[in-house]
Structure 1
Amino acid sequence: MKKSLLALAALGTFAGAAHAQSSVTLYGIVDAGFVYNNNSAGQKLYSTSAGNLQGDRWGLRGTEDLGGGLKALFVLENGFNAFTGKLGQGGDEFGRQAYVGLSSQFGTVTLGRQYDSVVDYTGALEVGSQWGTFYGAHPGDLDNMNNSNRVNNAIKYTSANYSGITFGGLYSLGGVAGQYNRNQIWSGGIGYAQGPLTLGAGYVNVKNPNFSFFGNNATSSATGSNMTGSQVYSGYASAKTQQIISAGGAYTFGPATIGATYSNTQFKDLGETGLVGTGGQTLAGTAKFHNAEANFKYQLTPALLLGVAYDYTKGYSVASQKIHQGVLGADYFLSKRTDVYVDGIYQHSSGTNSAGVTSTAQINGLSPSSTSNQVAAIVGIRHKF
């Protein structure tokens, strides 16, 4: 009897140890609010809006210790709309992220649907990914700093942390027989975070962006334009290549943080794919955009954060649009997991948009204004679990 009891105790101890070596976590965010748009095609618009500060999601994250410092890991992350229950990311079940991989002291290698290096190393420095809501992101999120587009079929490496320095890269196979570089995506980046200073830089090169970057969801068109979300780039669906270069930094002193980002986005070899974008005009050459943002946030109390930001977008070469944008916001934390927020965005646009007509204002995520100006106000609540 004593031997049996000892054996059972030993077995229980072993089972507990084995269980401790593996873990699966259920997590998520529900974020919902209301939006006022002063000019939606000439009319005022009051509407509900989900996923404002962060996209609504639920996910599963797991690891297994394989021994010798090696771990297996996976992430499955679903996006949805809290007001309608509808799937996000074009109806993909795990449209936000879905990958599996291995990690060790030398870094992590993962396979699946993932984020590019611009998102990884500079995205968090943009105000739209902080307190500014996605409405405060750069116009049309043309540089993907707000993570509008994911990468399918991706092989990704992320380094270990070396005294605050991390780096990584991603490659996405095009998957087209006989055309190895069609639809391929590759990116790389580096970041530094130590003490009060955070720095980051990223690069993305996308072949056939209309299909590989903007059109990689379940409801995407296999033949038509998928770049319809913003007049900033909707006319450039025929681009053979999209290139994004980004950099940013932030410095914290006491309760205050000052930050800045820069990006250069180019839609190259227009007309090469034979597609016709919004406006129907025939284009050639390269549409290029500079974007510069300065932001400031202040932790007025442990619970209350205040922020302000200014963003400037300038098109050149084929593009000629100029956009000024200002963002004001406040975020009040009721607890570590629940906060309420309010944001206001003003945008002024001039020049000619990608459709070849006089530009009107269009705050990210909203329908275009009938004039060169647009104002939006957002109030909402976010809960993390």
Structure 2
Amino acid sequence: MSKHLIAMIFTGIVTLTATATAFATKMSIVGRIQSEYSHIDIEGYSSQSTVNDPTFFSSWGFRVYEDLGHGFQAMAMIDFGFNTNGATQGSRELFVGIHNEKIGTLKLGRTHSPFADFAGGWTIDPFVYTTLQAAGSGGTMIASANGLGAGAYSAVNSVIRFTSREFHGFSFAALLMPGDADKLEAHLGGPLGGNGGNIGETGGEDGEWDIQVAAKYNYDFQEHKFQVFGGYSRDNVSTAQKRVTTANLKTEEVGRIGGVWAYKDFQLQGQYEFVSNAIGAATCSDAAALGSIKEVETRQCNSAMNAGGDGDVWYVGGQYKLGNATLIAQGGMSNADSTDFAKKRNAKSYTVGALYHLSKRTNLFGGYQHVNLIDRNETVDRDRNTWTVGLRHLF
């Protein structure tokens, strides 16, 4: 990229920011960048070391606010992800919405799900967006391909989401994804169906709306802080997905319950999820995959359920703040029931490590994760060991 082009882009950004401010609209450039040295070793198969951002934590974008008066604000977010090896993940959150401090926030567009950023999920995993994260990298959280789980950098297209403010400790969030089509397959390559690679996650002909709801309650007693949360997620199978006859796909349902207890510098957190008729949950992060290895026994997509099958996932962790450092220990287990074409298996994991805050915007992190994957049909028992150390900065 030439120096002249870089200068033009920079000048344009500054001009847009100044213009927005002049019209009482506040626009800020936001972003974050991370890189980590990680080593993954799969017992009896392969090992690999990289310097990268394998969970695509890094991103940049624009956040926009406009004061509408009477406690209302218009808001918008444009966020794009990348990693430090030059690869682009594409869009994260892309939405426009309305916020009221006494009611809550309404978003329209592409957003994260309540299972990711509201009730459990990322909010209780201190290693989220690292190689040691629980979602997709240790068998302890659902990481759905359609964004309805807690997968890193995932979001949900074509949604309406409302998140309430907290009322006497209680708050809730609801996400709706339209999925009804009269005759043609919904969103399959064009406005009238068409041909394309999209498998129609929005429901298809005569489909129903996908939905996710979650609620939490916060309660403080002296120096103790308690939080309990729960939620329900439904991903309706589309007509295109039904054509995957070997999987016998049906509507996926996920239930979640969990809680947090904090006392001074100590915290415990955990959650349990039950998955029925998994559709989008058969994914894992590249951090857990060790390159392009596709075999389940070696790739170790531990938080994945078998497509069309049931399963359950639980996670528990503890944190202790010691000065600028946070010491972390966590782990859990996933159980994937067998289907006609996939094996029954479980994965057990534990993770230990620490975060060290150099400032409010910059921190170091590192640790070790051990995962034991057992195929309960053919007695495959293969461990995975991961070490990582990294640095991240928010701007």
Whether TM exceeds 0.5 here: the answer is: yes
1:101 alignment partner in structure 2: 97
Distance in structure 2 (CA, Å) of the matches to 1:338 and 1:285: 39
- 8 Å contact from structure 1 (residues 113, 152) kept in 2: yes
1:351 alignment partner in structure 2: 375
Which segments of 5 or more consecutive residues in structure 1 lack a partner in the other structure? Answer: 1-14, 213-222, 226-234, 271-276, 361-370
Distance in structure 1 (CA, Å) of the matches to 2:160 and 2:317: 33
Aligned mate of 1:71, from 70, 73, 83: 73
| Pairing 1:92-241 to 2, within 5 Å after superposition | 92=90, 95-104=91-100, 105-119=102-116, 120-127=118-125, 130=128, 133=131, 135-137=133-135, 138-139=138-139, 142-143=142-143, 144-147=149-152, 149-174=154-179, 176-178=181-183, 179=204, 182=207, 184-195=209-220, 196-208=225-237, 239-241=249-251
Which segments of 5 or more consecutive residues in structure 2 lack a partner in the other structure? Answer: 1-17, 144-148, 184-203, 281-293, 297-305
| Max Rg structure | 1
- 8 Å contact from structure 1 (residues 321, 359) kept in 2: no
Distance in structure 1 (CA, Å) of the matches to 2:88 and 2:166: 35
1:282-303 deviation line (CA, Å, top 9, x unaligned): xx995111111110111122x1
State the one-letter code of the partner of 2:75: L
- 8 Å contact from structure 2 (residues 252, 279) kept in 1: no
State the one-letter code of the partner of 2:119: Y
Shift in CA distance, 278/177, structure 1 to aligned 2, threshold 3 Å: farther
Distance in structure 2 (CA, Å) of the matches to 1:72 and 1:122: 27
1:87 maps to 2:112: no
Give the alignment's TM-score, normalised by structure 1.
Answer: 0.72
Q: What secondary structure is seen at the aligned counterpart in 2 of 1:139?
A: coil
Pairwise CA distance, 1:114? 1.0
1:243 maps to 2:253: yes
Pairwise CA distance, 1:202? 2.0
Pairwise CA distance, 1:321? 1.3
Pairwise CA distance, 1:23? 1.2
1:25 alignment partner in structure 2: 28
Distance in structure 2 (CA, Å) of the matches to 1:208 and 1:49: 35
2:196 alignment partner in structure 1: none
2:361 alignment partner in structure 1: 337
State the one-letter code of the partner of 1:81: N
- 8 Å contact from structure 2 (residues 317, 329) kept in 1: yes
Shift in CA distance, 320/252, structure 1 to aligned 2, threshold 3 Å: same
1:46 maps to 2:49: yes
